[in-house]
Amino acid sequence: METIEVNDATFRPIVGIDLGTTNSAVALIRDGQPHIVASPQGEQLLPSVVLIDNQDQVIVGQDAKDSLIAMPERTMAAIKRLMGREGFVTVAGKEFLPEDVSALILKQLREYLVPIFGDGPVEAVITVPAYFDDKQRRATKRAGELAGFIVERIINEPTAAALAYGLGQGDEHKNILVYDLGGGTFDVSVITLQDGVLEVRSSDGNKNLGGEDFDWRLVDWMAERIRQEQQVDPRKDLRARAILKEVAEKTKWTLSTYNEASIETPVLMMHDGIPVSLNTPVTAEEFTQMIQPWLDETLQLTQTALKAANLAPSDIDNVLLVGGSTRIPKVQQMMRELFDHDPQHEVDPDMAVALGAAVQAGLKSGALSETHLVVTDVAPFSMGISVVRADRWGEMVPGFYKPIISRNTTIPCTRKTTVYTLYDRQDRIQVEIFQGEHDRVEQNLQLGSFFVPGIPPALAGQESVEVQFRYNLNGILEATAKIVSTKATQGIVVQDGLDRSSTDLFESSKVRLETLAQADTIVESEANEPEEDEVLLMEGIEEKEESADTLEQETEQSDVIKEAQRIVQDLQAIASLRQGSQRSSAKSLINQLEQAITRQDTEGLPDLLDEATDLLFEMEG
How many domains would you assign to the chain? Answer: 4
User: Are residue 261 and residue 244 in the same domain, yes or no?
Assistant: yes
Domain match, 307 and 282 both: no
Q: Are residues 170 and 314 in the same domain?
A: yes
- Please give the sequence-ordered ranges of beta strands (E in DSSP) within 340-406, or none if there are none: 374-378, 383-390, 396-405
Task: Among 514, 549, 584, identify where a domain stops.
Answer: 549
Task: Note whether residue 425 is domain-resident.
Answer: yes
- pTM score, whole prediction: 0.76
Is 614 an active-site residue?
no
Residues 491 and 537 both lie in one domain: yes
130 and 196 assigned to the same domain: yes
Are 11 and 153 found together in one domain?
yes
- Domain of residue 607, residue span: 551-621
Catalytic residue among 18, 99, 100, 350: 18
**Are residues 406 and 417 located together in one domain of the fold?**
yes
Residues 156 and 205 both lie in one domain: yes
192 within a domain of the structure (yes/no):
yes
Distances (CA, A) of 274 to 219, 463, 525: 21, 79, 55
* Model pLDDT, residue 505: 67
**Domain-ending residue, one of 320, 351, 378:** 378
Decide if 317 is inside a domain: yes
Q: Which of 492, 469, 497, 472 is nearest to 538 (CA)?
A: 492
Does 436 fall in a domain?
yes
Could you tell me how many helices (H) and strands (E) the chain has, helices first? 13, 31
- Domain at 541, CATH number: 2.60.34.10
In a domain, 519, yes or no: no
Q: Which residues of the chain have pLDDT under 50?
A: 1-11, 496-501, 517-556
Domain-embedded: residue 520: no
Is 180 an active-site residue? yes
CATH (domain of 105): 3.30.420.40
Query: Which residue among 65, 80, 207, 245 is the active-site one?
Result: 80
Q: Residue 496: its pLDDT value, please?
A: 45
Q: Which of these, 257, 304, 482, lies nearest to 407 by C-alpha position?
A: 304
Q: Do residue 48 and residue 135 come from a single domain?
A: yes
Cα(547)–Cα(530) distance, rounded to whole angstroms? 12
Give a yes or no: residue 510 inside a domain: no
Q: Which of 180, 199, 204, 377 is catalytic?
A: 180
275, 290, 305: which is the final residue of a domain?
290
342 carries an active-site annotation: no
> Tell me, what's the pLDDT at 559?
58
Kindly name the residue from 133, 134, 157, 570 that is annotated as catalytic: 157
Beta strands in 530-614 (DSSP E): 535-537
- What's 235's domain CATH number? 3.90.640.10
* pLDDT for the residue 539: 28
Q: Are residues 348 and 390 in the same domain?
A: no
- Assess whether 313 and 403 both reside in one domain: no
Does the annotation count 18 as an active-site position? yes
Together in a domain, 305 and 157: yes
Sign, CA dihedral 604-605-610-611, equals positive
Task: Kindly give the pairing relationship between strand 410-411 and strand 445-453.
Answer: unpaired
Q: Is position 67 within any domain?
A: yes
